[in-house]
Amino acid sequence: MGALHMITAGESHGPGLTCVVEGLPAGLPLDRESINRDMARRQLGHGRGGRMKIERDSAETTGGVRHGRTLGGPVALWVANRDYANWEERMSPWPVDGVVEEVHLPRPGHADLAGVWKYGFSDVRNVLERASARETAARVAGGALCKEFLRALGVEVVSHVVQIGEVNAPSAARPLSLASFAAVDESPVRCLDADASRAMVEHIDAQRKANESLGGVFEVLAFGLVPGLGSHVSFEERLDGRLAGAICSIQAVKGFELGDAIAIAAKPGSQAHDEIFHSTERGFYRETNRAGGIEGGMTNGEVLVVRGVMKPLPTLTKPLRSVDIATLEPAEALRERTDSCTVPAAGVIGEAMVAYVLAGSYREKFGGDHIDDVHAAVRVYCERIGWRAS
């Protein structure tokens, strides 16, 4: 079976979150510490709220793995919500004694109002609990499995923050060297430029004191990809479209960019494309990567570069105006514990989603019931096209 599929279940303040990844080959070695390292990285970043002081996320494997290797069936992961102890009555899966107060105050910019309309609820909590970005903890767990699969094939997926609010990292802080990312998590905002990192922290602090939240831009890069993942023959198979859908599925992400898409929109064609060269030593190569590693819906052998544009979070410590859906009277939107800025965490989630799409593309192209079969298929393909990874 060549298809890869990931699904999550659970609510923000429910008992926990479940992720099931189906389609990984048998025999793939997994590193528990590596998976939980990504879980911890999702909780990083200056501007996080009180919830991160409660949760210490880790992923427990409950199926599909034996003695550290995949068995070829679905892999199931469980992420407990420690905060459930404070919400057990309100979020119990089963009826409870007494009355649980409903929430009738939808937040502008959130799924609240459209969700209660769509599903016929009177309680906004029935929507906001699943719409919450807490769900991404399960995605990061599943994405970590996909990263393990890609890593076995020589592919590494990394991320960093290039903008928070009005503070931008200089273009020099966007290198195409994997080694540059070794210490990215040491920055409080996961930014590679030290001066920009300090300015971002100061900006978050100032806006938090003003009861504001901040968005920004994160960048995800994938090193070591073979050419030809995805396809030009069908819009459903175009890898750029799949990546755009994956990145924009992350809560609060409102935009997607591949390579230098926005900048080259203002340039003539001679300055927009990546010229092709060949030498005996290097084979085919490019001197630029404005396309971000994808041409015609397929990887072209260059580093994959995608960006996600995140809006400010809609839950504010000074709530916006709204309407009580029960009384139809003007009211302030729901106020709950919230973050000021989650762009650094969004980059880690972006890694998981990019890894999921790329792992799926490898599975579709190369198949293989066992990881050794995948290695063999990739080797034969690279020999056929004369591909030498740089």
Give the CA radius of gyration of the chain: 22
Report the alpha-carbon distance of residue 62 to residue 79 in Å, rounded. 10
| Residue-level pLDDT at 1 | 43
Cβ-in-10-Å burial (0-12, 13-18, 19+) of 266 comes to exposed
Q: Which of 102, 15, 386 is nearest to 226 (CA)?
A: 386
| Residue-level pLDDT at 98 | 87
CA angle 239, 241, 243 (to 5 degrees): 70
| Token pair 């649980």: residue | 100
Note whether 361 and 239 are within 8 A (CB).
yes
Residue ranges in 71-192 assigned as alpha helix (H): 112-119, 125-131, 136-152
Note whether 89 and 100 are within 8 A (CB).
yes
Note whether 261 and 292 are within 8 A (CB).
yes
Largest CA distance in the chain: 77
Domains present along the chain, CATH in parentheses: 5-385 (3.60.150.10)
Report the alpha-carbon distance of residue 343 to residue 349 in Å, rounded. 10
Note whether 135 and 251 are within 8 A (CB).
yes
| Token pair 């609510």: residue | 11
Q: 3-state class of 197 per DSSP? A: helix
| Residue-level pLDDT at 321 | 97
Could you read off the pLDDT tens digit of each residue along the chain, which spans 390 residues? 458 999 999 999 999 999 999 999 999 999 999 999 999 999 988 876 655 555 578 999 999 999 999 999 999 999 999 999 999 999 999 999 989 999 999 999 999 999 999 999 999 999 999 999 999 999 999 999 999 999 999 999 999 999 999 999 997 555 578 999 999 999 999 999 999 999 999 999 999 999 999 999 999 999 999 999 999 999 999 999 999 999 999 999 999 999 999 999 999 999 999 999 999 988 999 999 999 999 999 999 999 999 999 999 988 889 999 999 999 999 999 987 778 999 999 999 999 999 999 999 999 999 999 999 999 999 999 999 999 876
Report the alpha-carbon distance of residue 256 to residue 383 in Å, rounded. 34
130 Cβ contact partners less than 8 Å away, ≥ 6 residues apart: 10, 11, 12
Element (H, E) at 198: helix 194-209
Strands 216-223 and 156-164: what pairing? Answer: antiparallel
Q: Which of 358, 333, 335 is nearest to 6 (CA)?
A: 358
Phi/psi for 256 (5° steps) reads -140, 140
Q: 3-state class of 382 per DSSP? A: helix
Q: Which two tokens stand for residue 298?
A: 């397929």
| Residue-level pLDDT at 55 | 58
pTM confidence score = 0.95
